[in-house]
Amino acid sequence: MTCVQFSHFAVVMLFVHFLSNCTASENSSELRTSVDISETVTVDVVPVREFIIEPTESVSIDRVQNHAAFNKRGDKIAWINSDKNEVFVTDNDGNHLFNFGSTGRGPEEFLEVFSIGFDLEENVVVYDAKLDLFKKFKSPGVLVETYEGIRDQGIFTSSRKLLFSENKLYISAIEMDYANENNFWRSRTIGELGQNYELLELAGSYDPDLAGTIYLYKYPMLTHDEENDMIYTAHRTHPFIQAINLNENSAEHDRFGIISESFKYADDETTRNDPIHIRRQKNLSQSFVEESFISDEYFFLQHATFSEDVITYGDTFLRQSFLNIFEKKEPYRFLGEVELESLPLHITNGNQMYILKDNNPDNFAVGVYDIIIEY
C-alpha cells in the first residue's frame, strides 16, 4: 500500500500505530506458546493450476489490492481496483462476472474502498472508510442499500475483510476512548455488528504481552472460524494468537503461537520522532503479521519481511511471505513454517491456497496450490 492519500488506513495508523516500538515483551515465556512438533511433520506446497485475470471493455486492471474476498462457496472473488475506487468480481477461474463503483460521493461511488466481503446472501458489502458508510451491492453490481458506519459508535476498524456469520458481521475494533499510547491495550478488539451494521457488542482483548508498550503496529487483526464460532485475533508485529469462543462470555481466551525461525523482532526500535525514511529502514529488521487463514483442521499465520525494493518502489507485493501452520484446536501444536513465492489471498477448508503470483496489470496472475501436511 502506498501513502498517496490520507486514507482511513492513515487515520488508523495515526491513532493506533505510528507512535511505537516493535519490541516483544519479556513476558512471552510466561504465557502459553505452542509446542513445536515441526521436526516430525512434513509440509509441501504443490502447484495445482494458474489463471490470468484479463481486462475487459468495462474493467481495466490498475492497482489491485491483495485483499481479495471470497464468498462462502469459494466460487466468486471480489477484487478492489484502488485507483478507480472500483470493485470487480470474478469466478475462481478469473472470468469477469460484474463490476461496480467509481470515485465520488454518490450512492454508487466511493472515496475509499477500505473493507470488502460477501454476506450470506452473496451480496458484496463495501465499507467506505472516508465516508464511514457500508454499501451493499447485488449481482450485477446493483446498489441494494446504504448503512451508517461505525465512527459514531465509538470505534475504528483495521479490518480489510468483512467477516459475516448468520445475521452478524465481525470486524476488528479500536475503541476511540483508548486510542492513545498510554492505554491502547485496554481497548476491546472485536466488534459484533447487526443486520443494519449497528454495534451490538464489543469483545476480545489485546495480547497480554502488549500491555504497557507503545502502540505502533499493534492494531488487532481478525480471522473467523465459522464452523466452531471462534474468532482468532493477532497483532501486526506479534506472532501470537488469541482464540475466542463467541458462545462463551468469558474473559479467559486460549493463546498460542511461536517465534519461528524466520520471524524478526527489531533490535533498534522505531520511535515517534523517527523520520519516515528512518522508520522504513528500521522496518527491514521487523516481521509483520498479515492476514491469517483457517481451514477445517489448521490455522495459518502469515507473516512477511520487507525488502529494500519495497522501500524503493513502494510496492508491498515485493515483500517476502511465510506461513506458520498450527493445529487449530487445543493444544494448537506448531507444525512448521513454509516460505511462499508470493502473497497468499485465501486458503480453503480443504487446504487449497490461492496466491497472487503477479500483480502486473498486463499479467495479473493467480496460482492455486495444495498444502499437504503429513505427520
Please tell me the predicted confidence (pLDDT) of residue 15.
38
The three cell numbers of residue 5 are: 492519500
Please tell me the predicted confidence (pLDDT) of residue 251.
58
- Asked, for residue 1, whether it belongs to a domain, the answer is no
Residue 14 has pLDDT above 80, yes or no: no
CB–CB of 293/322 below 8 Å?
Answer: no
Question: Which structural domain range is residue 325 located in?
Answer: 8-374
- Asked, for residue 3, whether it belongs to a domain, the answer is no
- Asked, for residue 2, whether it belongs to a domain, the answer is no
SS3 223: strand
- Asked, for residue 165, whether it belongs to a domain, the answer is yes
- Asked, for residue 141, whether it belongs to a domain, the answer is yes
Please tell me the predicted confidence (pLDDT) of residue 312.
81
- Asked, for residue 14, whether it belongs to a domain, the answer is yes
The angle formed by the CA atoms of residues 373, 374 and 375, to the nearest 5 degrees, is: 125
- Asked, for residue 17, whether it belongs to a domain, the answer is yes
More confident residue, 140 or 318: 140
Domain count within the chain:
1
Residue 271 has pLDDT above 50, yes or no: yes
Residue among 238, 252, 150, 140 at smallest CA distance from 194: 150
Distance of CA 44 to the CA centre of its chain: 24
Q: How much of the chain, in percent, has pLDDT values that exceed 90?
A: 74
DSSP state of 24: P
Confidence label for 303 from pLDDT (cuts 50, 70 and 90) = very high
| Least confident piece of the model among 39-43, 196-200, 208-212 | 208-212
Taking each continuous run of H as one helix and of E as one strand, the counts in the chain are: 3, 27
Task: Tell me what the pLDDT averaged over the chain comes to.
Answer: 89
Confidence label for 166 from pLDDT (cuts 50, 70 and 90) = confident
CB–CB of 261/190 below 8 Å?
Answer: no
More confident residue, 227 or 111: 111
Q: What is the CATH number of the domain that holds 247?
A: 2.120.10.30
* Most confident stretch, 252-256, 267-271, 311-315: 252-256
Cα–Cα distance measured from residue 263 to residue 265, given in angstroms and rounded to the nearest whole number: 7
Q: How much of the chain, in percent, has pLDDT values that exceed 70?
A: 90
pLDDT in tens, 50-83: 999 999 999 999 989 889 999 999 999 999 999 9
DSSP state of 54: P
- Asked, for residue 58, whether it belongs to a domain, the answer is yes
Cα distances (angstroms) measured from residue 313 to each of 45, 148, 281, 317: 29, 36, 14, 10
